[in-house]
């Protein structure tokens, strides 16, 4: 039975009538699968792995945290990452539009028409039955845009610390530095708001400059040498820490979980860290997925990215904890300054440390900027595609707002040190709000969206997995991941 007005709408609504395989991304495509893997790895690997992971592990009981983290990556983050890239690749626009497109597509119903010649009904078209159905889901996209801006606001400040440490290392400040020396160097730096503001401004400026030139140009070139370079230096550092007296104690702390330490709050932090580290729940990978050609297997690229990301985080832990135990730092109180207080000691006492230290912070800076680009990209493409901005205007506007919010984080380490909301300073509040609330919520909604709303035939067609892998993924995305997120979230909250 066939409704003429709907039929008209179908014709007018190009998005629906253009066959999926003819749809091209309106903002171009990665030229190869390897480039997508590089870009997604560039987004995932960043300050999260090297700065935040050791700090979080230290604060949450070491091995207890690590084991829950690994479980969260495998059972929650990985299936959601697949779902997020799926939305992006099928939607092919900014997160808001991609979600809108997919929910329109999902709300289509089969329309049957009586074929009088053959005297039977045949399916003629898909049409969507309820215009209102698809407006709510784009909220995930909006939430992601906001999460990205909030994360980048403090991410940029920490990236600024990294730039400053390039110069500190280069000028020999770390030579033979003691634990007290490294700590006071760090404290002196963070108490200086103007200096941090300068680096924060420079970092935001560079990020916006690259983004205003379009993602593909700069990124594709930079990431090729960045990731291998970072691996190399981490391996060199790993070699160094094996010589430390606290090496085995460090490893034991990291890998031997004290199961009594697995509390609701540890689990919540570990899950949040998995979302943060893999860049999921806010649309960064959705955007990158929208540049991914239909030819490539989402599952394959996702596994590679998740593996690389986890590897770097664990390696960072293997490096930091032996230093912590060799120099008798209290891991529970070190906080976000952990790597800035421990690594200088390593560089200060290893042969060639000045060079390695400088190189390390340069690479960390690059790792930070490739993540920063993915944090701002959803907001920028939204302004371009939906609000008629040029790339330059969009980058400038979003960059300015982000920069402004970032000042609050700078102040958290000096002027506003003692100003707390819910027991947290401004920086800790933004960090907790994004990692522990917004990203899990975004990921949860994506799981529900792809697991229940998106038609099975759509996800089968997009993922092209083997039957058994698809079934495992589907169980994870429909039951395990969303239930786990909700349980962890409510337990943590209480
Ligand atoms: N995953 C990045 C890191 O570990 C941070 C990030 C979070 C990037 C969310 C994009 C989205 O440094």
Indicate if the pLDDT at residue 15 is higher than 60.
no
Q: How far is the CA of 376 from the centre of ligand 1 (A)?
A: 11
- Mark out the alpha helices in 242-297 (DSSP H runs): 247-255, 264-277, 284-290
Boundaries of every domain in the chain: 51-493
User: What is the average pLDDT across 470-477?
Assistant: 97
Q: Give the pLDDT of residue 124.
A: 55
Indicate if the pLDDT at residue 3 is higher than 50.
no
Q: Give the pLDDT of residue 103.
A: 86
User: What is the average pLDDT across 313-333?
Assistant: 90
User: What is the average pLDDT across 2-11?
Assistant: 38
Indicate if the pLDDT at residue 131 is higher than 70.
no
Nearest CA to ligand 1 atom 9: 279
Q: Which CATH class is domain 51-493?
A: mainly alpha
Who wins on pLDDT, 112 or 364? 364
Q: Give the pLDDT of residue 7.
A: 37
Tokens standing for 153?
């606001």
Distance CA 112, CA 377 (A): 42
Distance CA 46, CA 465 (A): 29
Who wins on pLDDT, 186 or 296? 186
Indicate if the pLDDT at residue 63 is higher than 50.
yes
User: What is the average pLDDT across 311-320?
Assistant: 95
Residues contacting ligand 1 via CB (< 6 Å): 43-44, 46-49, 151, 276-277, 279, 282, 284, 371, 374-375
Indicate if the pLDDT at residue 13 is higher than 60.
no
**Which among 48, 148, 282 is the best mutation to test ligand 1's pocket, defined by most ligand atoms within 8 Å of the CB?**
48
Nearest-atom number in ligand 1 for the CA of 53 is 4
Packed helices 298-326 and 338-349: angle between N→C axes, nearest 10 degrees? 70
Indicate if the pLDDT at residue 19 is higher than 50.
no
Tokens standing for 328?
């008798």
To the nearest whole number, what is the mean pLDDT of the chain? 88
Q: What are the pLDDT digits (tens) for 380-435?
A: 999 998 999 999 999 999 999 999 999 999 999 999 999 999 889 999 999 999 99
CA dihedral 71, 72, 74, 77 (to 10 degrees): 180
Indicate if the pLDDT at residue 90 is higher than 60.
yes
Who wins on pLDDT, 243 or 108? 243
pTM of the predicted structure, to 2 decimals: 0.89
Q: How far is the CA of 156 from the centre of ligand 1 (A)?
A: 12
Q: Give the pLDDT of residue 412.
A: 97
Indicate if the pLDDT at residue 106 is higher than 50.
yes
Chain-centroid distance of CA 340 in Å reads: 22
Who wins on pLDDT, 14 or 378? 378
Give the Å distances, CA to CA, from 97 to 90, 152, 272, 294, 443.
Answer: 11, 22, 26, 18, 17
Q: Give the pLDDT of residue 195.
A: 96
Q: What are the pLDDT digits (tens) for 178-220?
A: 989 999 999 999 999 999 999 999 999 999 998 888 755 666 6
Q: Give the pLDDT of residue 104.
A: 85
Q: Give the pLDDT of residue 133.
A: 55
Q: Give the pLDDT of residue 10.
A: 38
Least confident of 133-137, 207-211, 478-482: 133-137
- The band of 276, judged by pLDDT with boundaries at 50, 70 and 90, is very high
The pLDDT > 90 percentage for the chain reads 65
**Which among 69, 143, 203, 277 is the best mutation to test ligand 1's pocket, defined by most ligand atoms within 8 Å of the CB?**
277
Q: Give the pLDDT of residue 400.
A: 98
Biggest alpha carbon–alpha carbon distance for the chain: 91
Nearest-atom number in ligand 1 for the CA of 276 is 7
**Which among 39, 42, 43 is the best mutation to test ligand 1's pocket, defined by most ligand atoms within 8 Å of the CB?**
43
Nearest CA to ligand 1 atom 7: 279
Indicate if the pLDDT at residue 272 is higher than 50.
yes
**Which among 161, 273, 375 is the best mutation to test ligand 1's pocket, defined by most ligand atoms within 8 Å of the CB?**
375
Nearest CA to ligand 1 atom 6: 279
The pLDDT > 70 percentage for the chain reads 86
Three-point CA angle 47, 50, 56, nearest 5°: 95
Tokens standing for 75?
């059972």
User: What is the average pLDDT across 58-63?
Assistant: 94
- Using a CB cutoff of 8 Å and minimum separation of 24, what contacts does 127-136 make? 127/6, 127/7, 127/9, 127/10, 127/16, 128/16, 128/104, 133/103, 133/104, 133/107, 134/100, 134/103, 134/104, 134/106, 134/107, 135/100
Q: Give the pLDDT of residue 126.
A: 56
CA dihedral 93, 96, 101, 102 (to 10 degrees): 110
């Amino acid at each position: 039975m066939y409704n003429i007005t709907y039929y008209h709408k179908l014709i007018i609504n190009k998005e629906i009538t253009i066959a999926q395989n003819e749809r091209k991304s309106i903002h171009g495509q990665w030229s190869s699968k390897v480039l997508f893997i590089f870009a997604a790895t560039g987004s995932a690997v960043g300050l999260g792995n090297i700065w935040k992971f050791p700090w979080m592990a230290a604060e949450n009981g070491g091995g207890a945290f690590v084991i829950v983290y690994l479980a969260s990556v495998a059972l929650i983050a990985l299936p959601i990452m697949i779902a997020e890239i799926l939305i992006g690749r099928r939607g092919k626009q900014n997160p808001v539009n991609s979600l809108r497109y997919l929910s329109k597509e999902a709300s289509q119903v089969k329309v049957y028409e009586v074929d009088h010649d053959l005297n039977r009904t045949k399916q003629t078209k898909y049409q969507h039955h309820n215009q209102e159905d698809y407006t709510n889901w784009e909220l995930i996209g909006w939430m992601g845009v906001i999460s990205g801006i909030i994360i980048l606001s403090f991410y940029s400040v920490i990236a600024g610390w990294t730039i400053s440490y390039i110069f500190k290392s280069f000028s020999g400040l770390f030579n033979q530095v003691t634990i007290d020396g490294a700590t006071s160097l760090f404290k002196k730096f963070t108490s200086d708001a103007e200096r941090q503001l300068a680096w924060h401004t420079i970092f935001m400026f560079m990020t916006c400059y690259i983004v205003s030139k379009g993602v593909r140009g700069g990124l594709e070139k930079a990431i090729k040498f960045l990731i291998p370079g970072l691996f190399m230096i981490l391996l060199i550092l790993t070699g160094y820490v094996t010589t430390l007296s606290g090496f085995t104690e460090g490893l034991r702390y990291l890998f031997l979980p004290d199961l009594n330490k697995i509390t609701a709050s540890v689990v919540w932090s570990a899950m949040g860290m998995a979302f943060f580290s893999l860049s999921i729940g806010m649309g960064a990978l959705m955007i990158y997925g929208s540049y991914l050609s239909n030819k490539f297997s989402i599952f394959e690229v996702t596994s590679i990215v998740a593996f690389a990301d986890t590897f770097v985080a664990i390696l960072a832990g293997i490096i930091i904890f032996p230093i912590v135990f060799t120099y008798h730092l209290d891991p529970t109180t070190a906080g976000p300054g952990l790597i800035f207080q421990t690594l200088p000691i390593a560089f200060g006492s290893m042969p060639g440390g000045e060079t390695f230290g400088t190189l390390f912070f340069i690479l960390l800076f690059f790792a930070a900027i490739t993540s920063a680009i993915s944090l701002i990209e959803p907001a920028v493409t939204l302004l371009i595609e939906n609000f008629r901005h040029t790339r330059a205007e969009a980058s400038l506007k979003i960059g300015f707002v982000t920069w402004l919010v970032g000042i609050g984080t700078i102040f958290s380490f000096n002027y506003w040190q003692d100003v707390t909301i819910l027991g947290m300073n401004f920086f800790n509040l933004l960090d907790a709000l994004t990692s522990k609330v917004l990203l899990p919520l975004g990921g949860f909604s994506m799981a529900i969206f792809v697991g229940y709303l998106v038609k099975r035939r759509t996800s089968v067609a997009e993922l092209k997995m083997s039957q058994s892998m698809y079934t495992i993924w589907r169980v994870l995305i429909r039951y395990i991941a969303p239930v786990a997120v909700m349980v962890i979230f409510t337990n943590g909250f209480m």
